[in-house]
């Protein structure tokens, strides 16, 4: 079993180019599945039937796993069996008729344009760190980045003349995302005045540096964002992903097409992006109620 799992993980790495974090999730879920089979005296994966799979799902629910987590386990094991059939190690997929648990469509939280504008004014741009923080906020929101993409951004990845950033997202997939004039302006200020002062003679490939040229950590940026959101009077919990959601929502509200937003977010499946249409659709309903004479 362990050998087959290792072969499958190698397949995911080489053939599908899964990112390390995704591979870790697959490895963890499959290891837990293997432990379940061993505990229930099923040493041969070819002897697993639908009854055993249902027992495994009941086991996951009894552990307190959410529908989303159970769905992730199910997807991992289903893919594993597809691989086994492809490699002639199994004849059938016992999960073929098992439905994925419904996880619900939780709408992403986002800020209004006014809230974003207020938030962007919070950093003190008379200090080097304030210049850095202002630039980070503008680039995060202006390009809809994930926080990991922001803190790992290299100087060579941003082109201020052409106003775009080159991002290597999940699975090391590359995408080009435009940035606006304010993000360009704040980043230029940071590069000219703040960054040299913080580096103090050190060199660094990273665009946004902390001490001794090291990149800022995700946790460090999280704390800064929380502080600025509080200072801006924003009562809702604001995370880096909130700004990413705001980026997508504001683009759609402004008339951008879904495919363009999908490309800028780096979503491989447009279904992932479509959740934002629920938000922008509500915006249209609100606008209709407010401005239509019979709204």
Positions annotated as catalytic residues are 146, 170, 241, 244, 267, 276
Axis crossing angle, helix 240-253 with helix 128-143, rounded to the nearest 10: 50
Number of neighbouring beta carbons within 10 Å of residue 288:
11
Round to whole Å and give the CA distance between 190 and 240: 20
Q: What are phi and psi of 209, to 5 degrees?
A: -110, 155
Half-sphere exposure of residue 127, counting CA atoms within 13 Å on the CB side? 6
What tokens were used for 86? 């492809």
Helix (H, G, I), strand (E, B) or coil at 156: helix
**Position of tokens 């499946």?**
269
Residues in Cβ contact with 256 at an 8 Å cutoff, skipping those fewer than 6 apart: none
Q: Which of 168, 167, 169, 163 is nearest to 186 (CA)?
A: 163
The radius of gyration computed from the CA coordinates of the chain, to the nearest angstrom, equals 23
- Per DSSP (E only), the strands in 135-242 are 158-159, 164-168, 174-178
> Can you tell me the distance from the alpha carbon of 25 to that of 255, in angstroms, rounded to the nearest whole number?
37
* Structural tokens at position 75: 């997807």
Q: How many CA atoms lie within 13 A of 6 on its CB side?
A: 3
CA distance 275 to 248: 10
């Amino acid at each position: 079993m362990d050998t087959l799992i290792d072969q499958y993980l190698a397949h995911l790495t080489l053939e599908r180019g899964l990112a390390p974090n995704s591979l870790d999730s697959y490895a963890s879920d499959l290891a837990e599945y293997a432990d379940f089979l061993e505990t229930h005296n099923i040493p041969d994966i070819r002897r697993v039937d639908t009854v055993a799979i249902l027992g495994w799902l009941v086991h996951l629910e009894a552990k307190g796993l959410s529908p989303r987590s159970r769905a992730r386990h199910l997807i991992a094991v289903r893919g594993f069996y597809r691989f086994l059939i492809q490699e002639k190690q199994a004849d059938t997929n016992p999960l073929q008729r098992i439905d994925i648990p419904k996880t619900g469509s939780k709408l992403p939280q986002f800020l209004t344009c006014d809230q974003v504008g207020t938030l962007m004014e919070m950093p003190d741009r008379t200090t080097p760190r304030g210049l850095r923080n202002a630039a980070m906020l503008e680039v995060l929101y202006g390009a809809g980045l994930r926080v990991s993409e922001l803190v790992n951004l290299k100087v060579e990845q941003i082109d201020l003349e052409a106003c775009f950033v080159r991002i290597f997202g999940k699975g090391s997939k590359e995408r080009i995302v435009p940035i606006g004039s304010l993000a360009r302006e704040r980043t230029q200020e940071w590069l000219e005045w703040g960054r040299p002062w913080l580096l103090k003679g050190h060199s660094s490939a990273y665009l946004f540096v902390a001490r001794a040229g090291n990149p800022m950590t995700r946790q460090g940026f999280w704390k800064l964002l929380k502080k600025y959101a509080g200072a801006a009077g924003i009562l809702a919990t604001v995370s880096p992903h909130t700004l990413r959601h705001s980026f997508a929502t504001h683009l759609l509200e402004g008339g951008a097409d879904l495919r363009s937003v999908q490309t800028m977010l780096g979503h491989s499946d447009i279904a992932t992006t479509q959740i934002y249409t629920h938000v922008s659709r509500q915006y249209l309903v609100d606008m209709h109620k407010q401005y239509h004479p019979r709204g």
